[in-house]
Each structure stands twice: as C-alpha cells, then as structure tokens.
Amino acid sequence: KLKIPVNDYNDFEFQFFDKVIVFDNLTKKIIIIVNLKLDDIEKQYQKAQLEIYKIVHLIQSTNDFEDATYPSNIEFNCNMNKEQFCNMVDKAKKYITNGDIFQVVLSRRFEADFEGSLIDAYRTLRVYNPSPYMYFIKSDNLEICGASPETLAKVNDKQVTTFPIAGTMPRGKSLEEDILFENMLINNQKELAEHNMLVDLARNDIGKISEYGSVNVDEYLQIHRYSKVMHIASVVSGQLKDTFDAFHAICSILPAGTLSGAPKFRACEIIAELEGCSRGIYGGAIGYIDLSGNLDMCIAIRTAISDGKKVYVQAGAGIVYDSIASNEYNECEHKAKAVMLAIQDAINIHKLTHRYL
C-alpha cells in the first residue's frame, strides 16, 4: 500500500440515476429517460409517465439560469517551480538508470483561491477546447469540470478497449507549422519509445482480463489534434472473459499507464515519493456504467476541481531515460494552459456582462 498524504476527497464516488434528461446537441432535442422496476409493470409504467410529465413541467417552467459567482481575479500558483520540477525529473531518471522503471509520469499542481462556480469555465472549455469527453459534475462539496482527450476504457458487449495517448507537441500557429510539429512528433525517438512502452502496458492490462488470443492493437501511432496540443494515440482491445465485467476492466486498467508509468506499481511508488502529495482526482477516471454492463470512462486530465475555496489544475509529463527536464516542464505548462485559461476567461466574461447591470 502506497504511503501518500490523505485528502478530504472520496477515493470513489458512484451515483445511480433513475431519471435522466439528455440534450442531443446534433438534433437539438431533449430526451427524458425514466427507469422503472419490472414488478407490477402496469403500475410502474404509469408512475414513470407521471415522472416524465413532472420533468417536462420543470423544464418548461424554468426561464433563467442560475448566475454563477466568481472572484474579481485569479492567480495560479504551482506547488513546485522549474528548478524543483527539473530536480524531480533528474531523480526519476536515476531510477530509470538503476533499472527500477522504464518510464514514469510526473506532474505539477496549479492552485488558486476560488470561491465561485466552475460552470462557466465548463462552458468556455466546450467552445475553446472541445474534446471527446466534456463534463461538469457537482456534488455536495466539490465541483469538477474538464475536457479530457483520453479514454481510460470502454466496454461494449464484452469487448474492452483502451486508448493509450503518449507523445505531445503544441499546436502550430499556422497550417504549415502544425504539419511541421506533427512530423517532429512522429519522428521523435524519445516520444515513440515512450508511446511504445505504454502500448505494451495497455496490452498487458487488457490481456489480464481478456480471452487468450483476443488482444489486438487496432490503431497504432495516429496523430490526434486538440485546441492547444497534439498527441500520438493508439487503440488496444480484447474480449472480456466470461467471468469478468466492467468493474474488472476499471480495476485492471486504473491507474492508466499513461498517467503512472511502467512497470506500473513501482512507478506509482516513485510518484508518491517524488510528488509528495495526493493527486486526488487527477489521473483517475470519470464516466458511466450502464444497466447492460457497458462502460465508458475517460482519464481525469485537462480537469479543474474546486472545493469552494480553491481550484486545482494538474498536468504531467512522461519521463524516460533521455528526457530533457526543461522540455517536460514546458509540456506540463502546455497541458494545463487550456483549463486555466478557461477559468480566467469565465471570470473575464462574468465581469464584462455584469459591468453594466
């Protein structure tokens, strides 16, 4: 068991939703779903209809959005400066040289005083940093918003899939520069070595819960572009064994190799030693498991979390034998930038729209 400082957050939080309101962005339609029990089906059906009518009335009677509150300004501070991070990278490289690990992901945490809501930061992310996974979650004592590009795992009809992403470059300011950066990324031996390690780790994670001979690398070394960065991505899949389900997939793959390292357990030990603080939700998973046993979970990166007093954004970089510490420092900056800018933009928009009220 790893020795890491405790925090005030739950390690796991699952919620069951028997009533769901879905807004389809493509068709611009609202879909209302009410699950019902199978005992006394006629009575349950009438009860579900009544619930749907109540939800329709609630939607129709809602005219105004709740106005989010924001501080007048925000200033992010990091838990370590460039020199401290580079020293941490050098220590990790010694572990690599000594044969403890092949690769490890080290992160930096940015925090700021923040007493508002992240809802407008989420809206800003949707516009300026659209990603495969967009989420805003509000619980009793936390708000989480994010734009994650990376799937932890999917399970669909017993087919389990994971999508390792490793290798990062910033987006170019022009099409020509963007293509130049793509060529630099796909021909960077350090980035390719890191990516291949994590593809092998994904195959191992999937293989532990899959039928023998069913594990495949379906896509390999593809470039995926996002608003601020581009990544190298691959796809690994397998057929779940009959005795395993979606929860086994989570347990086998989490934490993702792309957020920990290889070998995974030793990398986690080194992360706990060098980073010195709990990561909280960073590098965890956000998603759903449906009533058919299917699963879709993303990795909690490009994510902000607020406890009502402070907001936190965390970003990391993969360290291998020939990593250059200053480059890894810059990679953390690039990855955290989109989320921190979204929070700042939300504050600016709030100030502008309320100046004349």
Q: How far apart are CA 132 and CA 163, in angstroms?
A: 12
From 258, 284, 303, 316, active-site residue: 258
Rounded to 5 degrees, φ, ψ at 341 are: -65, -35
Residues 7 and 76 in one domain: no
Residues 27 and 161 in one domain: no
Predicted confidence (pLDDT) per residue in 41-76, tens digit: 889 999 999 999 999 998 888 766 555 555 556 889
Q: How far apart are CA 236 and CA 214, in angstroms?
A: 10
Residues 146 and 55 in one domain: no
Q: How far apart are CA 165 and CA 226, in angstroms?
A: 13
Residues 214 and 283 in one domain: yes
What CATH number corresponds to the domain at position 145?
A: 3.60.120.10
What is this structure's pTM? 0.83
Look up 282 and say whether it is catalytic. yes
Look up 302 and say whether it is catalytic. yes
pLDDT value for 39: 84
From 123, 195, 279, 302, active-site residue: 302
DSSP letter for each residue of 283-312: TSEEEEE-TTS-EEEEE--SEEEE-SSEEE
Last residue of a domain, one of 43, 63, 83: 63
Residues 55 and 86 in one domain: no
Contact (CB, 8 A) for 134 and 225: no
Residues 195 and 299 in one domain: yes
> What percentage of the chain reaches a pLDDT higher than 70?
92
pLDDT value for 356: 42
From 203, 318, 329, 350, active-site residue: 318
Residues 145 and 211 in one domain: yes
Residues 37 and 170 in one domain: no
From 226, 282, 312, 329, active-site residue: 282
From 108, 123, 195, 231, active-site residue: 231
Cβ of 127: how many Cβ atoms within 10 Å? 10
Last residue of a domain, one of 30, 45, 63: 63
Residues 276 and 221 in one domain: yes
Average pLDDT score over residue span 266-273:
95
Last residue of a domain, one of 63, 85, 102: 63
Cβ of 259: how many Cβ atoms within 10 Å? 27
Which is it for the CA torsion 300, 306, 307, 310, positive or negative?
A: positive
Parent domain of 48: 1-63
Nearest CA to 236 out of 210, 263, 266 is that of: 210
Look up 318 and say whether it is catalytic. yes
Residues 41 and 108 in one domain: no
Residues 59 and 134 in one domain: no
**3-state secondary structure at position 161:** strand
Predicted confidence (pLDDT) per residue in 80-116, tens digit: 999 999 999 999 999 999 999 999 999 999 999 887 7
Residues 306 and 229 in one domain: yes
Task: Say how many domains are in the chain.
Answer: 2
